[in-house]
Structure 1
Amino acid sequence: MTNEKGQTVNLNRRLRTSYWLMFLSIYAGAFLYGPAFGSMPVGEWIASCLVVGFFVSLPLLLVVLVALRPTPGGVSWMSFLLLGYLIYGIVLIFSPRGLLGGLLLTGTTLATFIYAVAWLRPLKKAAKARAKNEPSD
């Protein structure tokens, strides 16, 4: 039982870390695929990249509590949201100036999604075992 508890805590930590890395990759990507450096004064360029990053990360902020304290329903909904970010990252890869930002976002999104699925897996096994043991009418 202690080993399962340690694995759950480790998965929680990995899920949280990959979530925050994904968040950082969104802002780093905004500087990479956002407005071209030198197209405006430096202060405006930084501000515009931060605004782009904020609007891209806005849906991800909806599940920040799930990343901090995961629940089965919350992790399920977060995994659905991550699929949208995965599609966005793949589209960025094929856009002009978006290769590096898209690769960063796709990689961190895939890692977060894999940890979310790994977090939900034991719960799915337990639900199947309960359903198998219950008498059917």
Structure 2
Amino acid sequence: MNAKPSPQTVRVNAKLRLSYWLMLLSILGGAFLYGPDFGTMPIGQWVASCLVIGFFISLPLLMFILTAHRPTPGGVSWMSFLLLGYLVFGIVLIFSPNGLLAGLLLTGTTLSTFFYAVVWLRPFKKAAKASNKK
């Protein structure tokens, strides 16, 4: 039988899910900040191009929607590896023209998502160490 998850696990799951969605929103919102300059094209075309840029940047992260909602140790581990790439991208954005705010948003949300992924994986790591000692 499946044991009922502890309240602490449920809280970490909710925080991991929330930080995942905030990270996706920061990617899409950031595309409006570092994307094409406003006024260089008609407004409809500008919005569409920023949304397309944001979609293509968030495409690898979209593969982990199920992992964010129903975390598994393997899925969260792979997601954390992917998050390191987004962290590097956020840091590069900080030092690019027109990318300071978008880079700070992406870096902050990536760090929080990575933190909650590590916190979520901690009990599994402790259990694996305990089973290796036996």
Q: What range describes the TM-score normalised by the shorter chain of this pair?
A: over 0.9
1:53 aligns with 2:60: no
SS at match of 1:105: helix
Give runs of aligned pairs for residues 57-96 of structure 1, distance below 5 A.
Answer: 57-96=58-97
Paired amino acid for 2:98:
R
Structure 1 unaligned regions, length at least 5:
none
1:77 Cα deviation after fit: 0.1
SS at match of 2:55: helix
1:15 aligns with 2:31: no
1:112 Cα deviation after fit: 0.1
Could you give the per-residue CA deviations for residues 1-30 of structure 1, whole angstroms, max 9, x where no partner exists? x9x710000000000000000000001100
Runs of 4+ in structure 1 off by over 6 angstroms are none
- In structure 2, the residue matched to 1:25 is 26
The Cα RMSD (Å) is 1.1
Query: With structure 1 as the length reference, what TM-score do the two structures score?
Result: 0.94
Structure 2 unaligned regions, length at least 5:
none
Give runs of aligned pairs for residues 94-133 of structure 1, distance below 5 A.
Answer: 94-133=95-134
SS at match of 2:6: helix
Q: Quote the Cα distance in structure 2 between the aligned partners of 1:48 and 1:112.
A: 27
1:79 Cα deviation after fit: 0.1
Q: Quote the Cα distance in structure 2 between the aligned partners of 1:131 and 1:45.
A: 56
- In structure 2, the residue matched to 1:42 is 43
Query: With structure 2 as the length reference, what TM-score do the two structures score?
Result: 0.96
Could you give the per-residue CA deviations for residues 62-118 of structure 1, whole angstroms, max 9, x where no partner exists? 111100100000000000000000000000000000000000000000000000000
